[in-house]
Chain A
Amino acid sequence: DGGITQSPKYLFRKEGQNVTLSCEQNLNHDAMYWYRQDPGQGLRLIYYSQIVNDFQKGDIAEGYSVSREKKESFPLTVTSAQKNPTAFYLCASGGQGAHEQYFGPGTRLTVT
């Protein structure tokens, strides 16, 4: 079954701790994306990667970091520098030359 997996579904952390969210895809897609969703605000782009070992900042990259060492994987680290990290995080991927993106089930992060 092809698709995008994100783990865990729910994540709880204390303030000041870094946390890494997992995103894996077996769709053989070149491009991968991280979005953040807050109530009533739609989706905002954090980082994206069009190819292995390369990635670009999105609109709200401050306090986040990513890596793209494998085509299938695009983990997102939420650092302690992110001022308001509690949110729903969505990973997506897209094929070469394609405009549409396919989304994973999301990870809900709560930081207290």
Chain B
Amino acid sequence: GDSVTQMEGPVTLSEEAFLTINCTYTATGYPSLFWYVQYPGEGLQLLLKATKADDKGSNKGFEATYRKETTSFHLEKGSVQVSDSAVYFCALSPNQAGTALIFGKGTTLSVSS
């Protein structure tokens, strides 16, 4: 079945460092891909999305590119801030809209000043 694998954390960085969180997926067809962010004690917020191959999703300085040839959707940010400290989830939605998302296990990011 479909699945998402993301790098295990925690990822610990200093402020202004470059961030990469790896995400790869297994799916039939052409899934949509997402990154969600969760701050402590809160629900998930949609960070960015991509719906087809070579699409780049971006938001708040974060970017991810849908790479079908490597089945990847790595999250990047050029300069992290302390306020970016959170748990990041990679997710996919199979071909059919309205079905449940499939999530990776999440990666905890901790940024220190």
Contacts and interface: CB of A to CB of B under 8 A. Distances in A.
Contact of A99 (B32, B44, B89): B32
B60 to A, nearest CB: 16
A100 B100 contact: no
Nearest to A58: B100
Nearest to B42: A105
A42 B43 contact: no
A94 B46 CA distance: 12
A85 interface: no
A99 B98 CA distance: 6
Nearest to B46: A100
Contacts of A31: 98
Interface string A39-81: 0111101001010000000100000000000000000000000
B103 A99 contact: no
Contacts of B42: 105-106
B97 A99 contact: yes
Most chain A C-beta atoms within 10 Å of own C-beta, residue among B34, B41, B44, B49: B44
A18 interface: no
B43 A103 contact: yes
Interface of B: 32, 34, 36, 41-46, 49, 51, 89, 93, 97-101, 103-106
Given A96-B97, A102-B46, A103-B43, 7 more contacts: A6-B43, A33-B101, A42-B103, A97-B98, A100-B49, A100-B93, A108-B41
